[in-house]
Structure 1
Amino acid sequence: MTGIDTSGTAGGGASRLSPMPRPPEATTFARPSMVGRGLSWVADYVYAGRRQLAVLSFPWAIGRPRPAPPAWQRGEPGLPEVYLIPGVYEHWTFLRPLGDALASAGHRVRVVHGLGVNRRTIASTSERLAGLLARTPAPDAGRVLVAHSKGGLIGKHLLVSSGAAARAAAAAAAGGDPAEGAAATTDGGRPLGLVGLVAVATPFGGSRLARLFVVPSIRAFSPKDETILTLGRETSVNGRIVSVFGPWDPHIPEGSALDGATNIAVPTSGHFRVLGARSTARAVLDGIAVLTGTVPAAD
């Protein structure tokens, strides 16, 4: 079961661009007890360790980018193409459970090579991603970014900088196809075709825990970081974002709910383990359906 909220607010005012259909009534999940949080914290890091080791699994790729599973290259033309954007210190293999679920549902799943362990700044990585997407024409059904943690911030930055979210929202508000709106271009460049973003466990408002670290790539998540503050002020694209999160995230005490976005709660706690939950895969698929204008069926 997942809980979906499209009221246009996570505690504040509504987004200017939130013309999406209304899914089933939201469900909320109670935060675990202190003992439960401790057990969840341990399970979270066990899961993260296993997923980090997945990069060593077959097929090996020495001196070249690790190929995505062949099954991910096939999909239904009527469904949007999905690009996976991992978090900081994560390889795309960290998101393989979600990629497999998306491919099984008929989506073509793409990965982004050349990010390393995603330590670059949010802005520079967003620019790299834009360049990659611009190399190939967007499919008729458009593209959706599915991201974890920092990847969600990169995705929001790209929605803002490319203008794709605003065009998709305008098309949806007029009763048209969001993918067609996202595919439009006004600057003579190749359109990226971004219909929207589904972000899992993303610190849209930053995390106060980031200030405890000296590593710049982690301190960048501070609520006082200029990029975090700038993205927070860019509320016009929030209507094209779906935020998925569990009842408790040890890395993001503030939570991942985003004003003006579609916020989907799932029952699994954790910052990493939530990626492998079946309910999260369902929530991501529901989120894509919301972004593309198809109301998901009730659980």
Structure 2
Amino acid sequence: MSEPQELSALARGWWWARDYVYAGVRQLAIVVEGWMPPARWRSGRGDLPEVLLLPGIYEHWSFLRPLGDALNGAGYRVRVVHGMGTNRRGIADTARRLGRAIERRRAPDAGRVIVAHSKGGLVAKQLLVSGADAAGDPDGATPAANGANGVLGVLGLVAVATPFAGSRMARLILDPSVRALLPSDETIVMLGRAASVNARIVSVFGRYDPHIPDGSMLDGATNIRVPVAGHFRILGAVETHRAVLEGVGHLRDQAG
């Protein structure tokens, strides 16, 4: 897997603009598409894991609607994790909230896979790390479905455009919740060192991400680069949908 592609300043500006146009469209789409997830998402094949969607910072769940539609179209039951607000809390705190939200419903026999965007991927990795620690599994090889967090049933994580090593672009934003994504942040450093669960993570990323210029490669994980540019636009790309489906299938087979 090659390093993030170097682009000219003009090209970077072009992709920045297109990325934010897409984000704006997705924000407004909720007015037309509705506030609640589609009822059809709750139906799917019982032999496939349930998919939990976890958006990034400042994002509503509807940002992930294109992914949810693709997953449900492939037979997966898709659910949205509620109660996360705008995902501006600390990663550890949000991971605890995520765990409490998931455990309210019994885990299906086929388990669950989290599909997350951006900061959502960091929160989900924190949950995996906490589950492995609670299960007394220093190698992180035992899925949470079989450990002390068995009630969660989480087989693994497919993360799209997640800054696993942080993002130097966070220094440009004064909001503390964004600056917490700096590479030097204590939680980012800790998660970077927690490589034991990386085998249960699939990282999907594009050829250029203006928010994560250093890329989303994660050592020990399954890394899939798609021929799409952008931090937000990547969510609507067919190539991304295929990669996410591949990633969920990989985690299912791995846990099987």
TM-score, normalising length: structure 1: 0.79
Q: Which residue of 2 aligns with 1:49?
A: 24
Q: Which residue of 1 aligns with 2:247?
A: 287
Matched, 1:184 2:119: no
How far apart are residue 40 of structure 1 and its match? 1.7
Q: Which residue of 1 aligns with 2:205?
A: 245
What secondary structure sits across from 2:116 in the alignment? Answer: strand
How far apart are residue 224 of structure 1 and its match? 0.6
Q: Is the 8 A contact 1:167 1:182 kept in 2?
A: no
Identity %: 59
How far apart are residue 282 of structure 1 and its match? 0.2
The structure in which a higher percent of residues are helix is: 2
Mark the runs of 5 or more structure 1 residues left unpaired by the alignment.
6-26, 60-65, 172-180, 295-299
Alignment of 1:104-253 (within 5 A): 104-163=73-132, 170=141, 181-186=143-148, 191-253=151-213
Aligned residue pair count? 252
Q: Which residue of 1 aligns with 2:50?
A: 81
Coordinate RMSD, CA, aligned? 2.2
Matched, 1:36 2:36: no
CA–CA separation in structure 2 for the residues paired with 1:103 and 1:218: 31
Task: Give deviations 1:103-155, integer Å, cap 9, x for gaps.
Answer: 00000000011222111111111101100111111111110000000000001
Q: Is the 8 A contact 2:57 2:120 kept in 1?
A: yes
CA–CA separation in structure 2 for the residues paired with 1:210 and 1:185: 35
CA–CA separation in structure 2 for the residues paired with 1:158 and 1:149: 15
What secondary structure sits across from 1:57 in the alignment? Answer: helix
Cα 1:85–1:168 change in 2 (3 A) is farther
Q: Choose 1 or 2 for highest CA Rg.
A: 1
Q: Is the 8 A contact 2:56 2:117 kept in 1?
A: yes
Mark the runs of 5 or more structure 2 residues left unpaired by the alignment.
none
Q: Which residue of 2 aligns with 1:102?
A: 71
How far apart are residue 170 of structure 1 and its match? 3.7
CA–CA separation in structure 2 for the residues paired with 1:233 and 1:94: 30
What secondary structure sits across from 1:99 in the alignment? Answer: helix
Q: Is the 8 A contact 1:168 1:182 kept in 2?
A: no
Considering Cα pairs closer than 8 Å and 6+ residues apart, tell me whether 1 or 2 has the greater RCO. Answer: 1
TM-score, normalising length: structure 2: 0.91
How far apart are residue 245 of structure 1 and its match? 0.5
Q: Which residue of 2 aligns with 1:178?
A: none
CA–CA separation in structure 2 for the residues paired with 1:253 and 1:29: 7
What secondary structure sits across from 2:253 in the alignment? Answer: coil
What secondary structure sits across from 2:183 in the alignment? Answer: coil
CA–CA separation in structure 2 for the residues paired with 1:102 and 1:192: 20
How far apart are residue 33 of structure 1 and its match? 4.5
CA–CA separation in structure 2 for the residues paired with 1:215 and 1:184: 38
